[in-house]
Structure 1
Amino acid sequence: MNDEYRDYRHYLYAGRKAPGTIEQRLGDLERFQRTTGLLPRKATARELLTYMSNGYSDWSPSYSKRIRGTLRSYYQWRVQDGRASEDPSESLPPIKVPKRRARRPAPDEVVLAAFDSGTLVERAIIALAASMGLRRNEIASLPLSARDGSTLRVVGKGSRERVLPLDSDTLHLLVELEGQVLPGQHYYFPGRFPGTHLHSHTVYEYVKRLMPEEFPHSLRHRAGTKGFRETKDIRATQELLGHASLATTEVYIESDLRDVAALTRATSMSRIRNPSSQPLTGLEDLIEAAAKLGSQLAPFGWDVQIIRSSQPAPDATVGVQ
């Protein structure tokens, strides 16, 4: 590590920043130095503005926001530590990141096929990502001490801790891994050297080998989308994924067209003409499900017919999701 940033690195460690955050901050500063030929401690406000503006066409809004955050953190530390009297990053304008559309979650059939064909380690990785919603670095560095009975303690971004109830499949896989622990092993997924854990990129490679079109993050999206769709509980989904903000959780949730269809049915002109039909939201889905069941039973000699015999009761409700 460049001694130029040694004291700043110590400051970040003292503040209990996550290892990934520390590596990111220092990497951003070194990249600034390589790109501009300037030492960050000598850069002026105008030079910082030029650096940020030069990235306008190449950087995403989220990356620009990250770089601004690094520069603000570094120069605020320098002023606080008495190394500088002014903060040249004060003039950097705030950056608004547009809300992204939800990414596509990994399809259930693809996840299940990979799970069934994987080794014990691969199955555990898939379950932790696709069922428990863990990030790949959280999986790679998961310590053996994380499990307490049927719960899992996970330390994520910003050193935020969450305790998750384990589903039976993931619990069984972790118990199997524990049965193969070697002396000196501290993690569920050990690295090449004693006492170390698997690199997060290796987790990525495991997933890509089994699911070439997917990523660890699309498995995590699957956990968030599936969990929310089944429960409609965004707070619980936020806790599962370990997000500090609900706005971040919303990015991970793919809207189900059936949910949107229920909204448009509720706001249609027919609801204005016939308000008493409003409680029947979801009826179309129920009829569709019954028709599908009928088609599946037909080869076995069953004939399922859907006949409306009377008007629905005023308080009739349908809860199909």
Structure 2
Amino acid sequence: MTVLPLQEAVERFLRYLKVERQLSPLTLLNYGRQLRAVVQLAEEGRLASWAQCDAAAVRGIVVRSRRAGLQASSLALRLSALRSFFDWMVSQGEMKANPAKGVSAPKAPRHLPKNIEVDDVNQLLDIDINDPLAVRDRAMLEVMYGAGLRLSELVNMDCRHLDLATGEVWVMGKGSKERRVPIGRSAVTWLEHWFDLRELFGPEDDAVFLSKQGKRISARNVQKRFSEWGIKQGLSSHVHPHKLRHSFATHMLESSGDLRAVQELLGHANLSTTQIYTHLDFQHLASVYDAAHPRAKRGKKS
């Protein structure tokens, strides 16, 4: 059997993607860019044919890619293209197995939004109420920050989900998981103001927050209104719903130090998600442990 040169095998694969798979020009461009770069790295590693490529050779390509300055997200794309290419080579009988399947890319760092300082939140919420839409927006901001809701949870909230007497709201979170969370006295007060005006919009359903047309407000509309209020209220940073949720979590954690409680309020399935979300690092956890755990001072003399 004739062994295909490295570059020729890649070009045949790209033709297959174009003619048989009919992938978009942009996808083909990305595949081509990544795989041609891999060919160069493979040749630098003195790989004579793809049939000789094993998991160690793939890891070598990953290492050289990182040294060349490739970021984690681009490296994941390169590995994905390489896996697809090797799957095709196996289907063509050119390789016995896919050596890239057991190799994973480094995880991209999670970039969290900066939280809004408490004074800035107070400045944002100090809205001069002069029309029903402003009352609605103030109520949305109060609920968003008061309960740390996701944007989807805010717009999908129905009137029947609220219990203003107890100051609680029932929400459906990710994975269809239900939870009840407190919303705070200020949020309750502004919801009551909003409900006094809500009928002016001719509600078409049970949605708490409505557009001018009386329909359930859209996520895009909420994002737009929050951004506009951030500018009107003179905040230096961009205001969006996720930043308010992040600020809620950060301020709650700073005040209480109770990571489990914040996890429950945010509706996170895993504690590790809350830990990352609130940018709580290990050093802080260690200091809390040293201060609180009865066995933390085991090496010290009493």
TM superposition score category, shorter chain reference:
0.5 to 0.7
Superposed displacement of residue 143, structure 1: 1.4
The code of the aligned residue for 1:147 comes to L
Superposed displacement of residue 164, structure 1: 0.4
The code of the aligned residue for 2:219 comes to S
CA gap 1:264/1:156 in 2 versus in 1, 3 angstroms: closer
Which of 116, 124, 149 aligns to 2:139? It is 124
Pair 1:230-2:255 in alignment: yes
C-alpha separation in 2, matches of 1:185 and 1:92? 51
The equivalent residue for 2:218 is 199
CA gap 1:174/1:41 in 2 versus in 1, 3 angstroms: farther
For residues 103-142 of structure 1, what are the structure 2 equivalents within 5 Å?
A: 103-117=113-127, 119-142=134-157
For residues 1-321 of structure 1, what are the structure 2 equivalents within 5 Å?
A: 50=31, 60=73, 97-98=107-108, 100=110, 102-117=112-127, 119-149=134-164, 150-182=167-199, 183=202, 184-191=204-211, 193-194=213-214, 196-212=215-231, 213=237, 214-255=239-280
The code of the aligned residue for 1:219 comes to L
C-alpha separation in 2, matches of 1:193 and 1:116? 26
Moved over 4 A (4+): 36-42, 49-54, 56-59, 90-96, 258-266, 271-276
* Partner deviation per Cα, 1:144-164 (whole Å, 9 max, x = no partner): 121024210011222222110
C-alpha separation in 1, matches of 2:118 and 2:20? 49
Q: CA RMSD in A?
A: 4.5
Superposed displacement of residue 175, structure 1: 2.1
The code of the aligned residue for 1:243 comes to H
Task: Tell me if structure 2 keeps the 8 A contact 1:177–1:188.
Answer: no
CA gap 1:228/1:186 in 2 versus in 1, 3 angstroms: same
Superposed displacement of residue 259, structure 1: 5.1
Unaligned runs of 5+ in 2: 1-16, 36-64, 82-99, 129-133, 232-236, 292-296
Q: What TM-score, normalized to structure 1?
A: 0.51
CA gap 1:124/1:101 in 2 versus in 1, 3 angstroms: same
Number of matched residues?
210
Task: Tell me if structure 1 keeps the 8 A contact 2:72–2:106.
Answer: no
CA gap 1:39/1:197 in 2 versus in 1, 3 angstroms: farther
Superposed displacement of residue 274, structure 1: 8.2
* Partner deviation per Cα, 1:157-194 (whole Å, 9 max, x = no partner): 22222110221111112222222232534212113545
Superposed displacement of residue 116, structure 1: 0.7
C-alpha separation in 2, matches of 1:60 and 1:50? 14
